[in-house]
Structure 1
Amino acid sequence: MSQGDDGFDPMSDEAREIGERAATDPDDFLSLLPHFYRGEVSQMNAAQDRIDRTTDWAIALMGAILSVVFSSPDMPAYLLLVGLVALCTFLAFEVRRYRFYDLWRSRVRLMQEDIFANAFDPLGPEHDDWRVEMSDDLRHPTFKVSVLEALSRRIRRVYGLLLTVVGIAWVCKVTLFTPEADWQEAAELPGISGPVIAGALALFFAGVVVLAYWPADRRAKGEIHGVRPGEWKDEDDDDEELE
């Protein structure tokens, strides 16, 4: 069995049990913890950056399509439908990226709740078996949110507004910005009448609203949505600072 220059054998029983020793020795565990925490935060930040880049591309695409469609009265309204399809594609990418982001965030939040919060104010850990939960998740990583929940969150946070802007732009294009033609003619596609297209869009946006506000328990960990804002200072201190 090969060994290093210092005689350390990485395949020895002693080396194999290094993790177990760190778990039972508080000093070893506390030395290991900051490195693990920084690594998880780095993974979380990288996942957040991927989400932001997808959103940036979606906004840029929407802006480009709106600029082209409204640059001339001759531009067809169906280009906005192409934009809707493209936005839905970006949304599908972002849903998957959000689920990975929530995986890393759930680990970070677990450590913040059960270690760092307790270090600042020792009230006891939020979860008595948090180490077991973390260990199980490291051995068998799993998504913490479903596709449906991730889809709902991204629609409520970003894509609901983007899709609404494109939908309103389509209505304006086939009515206000195409005065020489009836809206039904401006909205139609080859083989599909304008009212059918309008009805399909109405059903689409109704589905978007349902997905955004579907009534179910949320499992995303560490979300601040819907939580009342906290206070760091007394109101008197805030008034003095404003003066």
Structure 2
Amino acid sequence: MDGQGNGRKPLDTAEIGALAHLYRAEIYRSTIWRTRLDTTTNWSVVTLGVALSITFSSPQASPLPLVLVGILIIFFLMLEARRYRYFNVWRARCRWMELNFMAPMLNDGDLRMDTGWQDRLAEDYRRPAYHVSLRTAIGRRIRRNYFWILLIQTAAYLGKLAVHPAALQSFGELLERAAVGPIPGWLVLGVGLLYCFSWGAIALWSLREDRKRARWRRDPLGMG
């Protein structure tokens, strides 16, 4: 029987029942935090939609709302990344129990207590910590949702400069239209390019790290 021969006592019926209730609680918490992720994404979509409506309301309307909405999108992205780090804790615990408790029990009835999976889970409850860095969380959220939000924002801004109030005729005219008050157009476009490049670089970095983590995971007991 599992747990015998390695100094561990096997789980009794009451303990297995308690673990089942713990799994249900973690599922509930992960569901709640998953909903909170959707909320911040919706905020970003709504604010971008408002900025698009204002900017394209008339040919004379300023493209500035599409620039300013970028600040709100950054704020929502950072908030969502923070929420994702919490969600990832509950998700990882659920997946850990599914992989090491539910699946072996369904497969051959052996809880495999000798592998030490329960030690890692217990330690995570004693000393809870994030399983991913903030940068990784930001990159994942960009790849999942914010890539399209940022793409639409950038395309709409460039489209506004290209067609309103009339079709663009020269690069100098583009710089003139991009200017915001005393801020020259080249600086505004340069900051916009840096804005897009930075989020794209973080997304690509996190993709590479996630692939490396999945392929070369050294710790067989790792969570997250």
TM-score tier, shorter chain, comes to: 0.7 to 0.9
Q: Which residue of structure 2 lines up, in the alignment, with residue 113 of structure 1? A: 99
The answer to whether the 8 Å contact 1:76/1:186 transfers is no
- Find the residue that maps to 1:189 and give its secondary structure: coil
- Bigger-Rg structure (1/2): 1
Shift in Å at residue 125 of structure 1?
5.0
The answer to whether the 8 Å contact 1:113/1:125 transfers is no
Q: Which residue of structure 2 lines up, in the alignment, with residue 78 of structure 1? A: 64
Distance 1:149 1:68, change over 3 A: same
Q: Which residue of structure 2 lines up, in the alignment, with residue 231 of structure 1? A: none
> How many pairs align?
199
| Higher helix fraction (1 or 2) | 2
Q: Which residue of structure 2 lines up, in the alignment, with residue 142 of structure 1? A: 129
2:55 to 69, 74, 83: 69
Q: Which residue of structure 2 lines up, in the alignment, with residue 166 of structure 1? A: 153
The TM-score normalised by the length of structure 2 is 0.82
| Cα distance between partner residues in 2 of 1:118 and 1:162 | 41
2:90 to 96, 104, 115: 104
| Cα distance between partner residues in 2 of 1:103 and 1:170 | 37
2:174 matches 1:188: no
Structure 1 gap ranges (5+): 1-22, 223-243
The answer to whether the 8 Å contact 2:33/2:86 transfers is yes
Distance 1:127 1:74, change over 3 A: farther
Q: How does 1:15-34 map to 2 (within 5 A)?
A: 25-34=11-20
Structure 2 gap ranges (5+): 1-8, 215-224
The answer to whether the 8 Å contact 1:152/1:213 transfers is yes
Q: Which residue of structure 2 lines up, in the alignment, with residue 217 of structure 1? A: 209
The answer to whether the 8 Å contact 1:51/1:98 transfers is yes
Deviates more, 1:199-208 or 1:23-32: 23-32
1:178 to 156, 165, 186: 165
| Cα distance between partner residues in 2 of 1:214 and 1:201 | 20
Q: Which residue of structure 2 lines up, in the alignment, with residue 46 of structure 1? A: 32
Provide runs of 4+ in structure 1 moved above 4 Å. 123-127
Distance 1:125 1:155, change over 3 A: farther
Q: Which residue of structure 2 lines up, in the alignment, with residue 236 of structure 1? A: none
With a CA cutoff of 8 Å and minimum separation of 6, indicate the structure with the bigger relative contact order.
2
* Cα deviation code 1:148-194 (max 9, x no counterpart): 10010001111111011111111011111232883222210122111
Distance 1:68 1:124, change over 3 A: same
1:129 to 116, 121, 127: 116
The amino acid across from 2:180 in the alignment is: L
| Cα distance between partner residues in 2 of 1:188 and 1:170 | 13
| Cα distance between partner residues in 2 of 1:149 and 1:156 | 11
- Find the residue that maps to 1:218 and give its secondary structure: helix
The amino acid across from 1:207 in the alignment is: S
The TM-score normalised by the length of structure 1 is 0.76
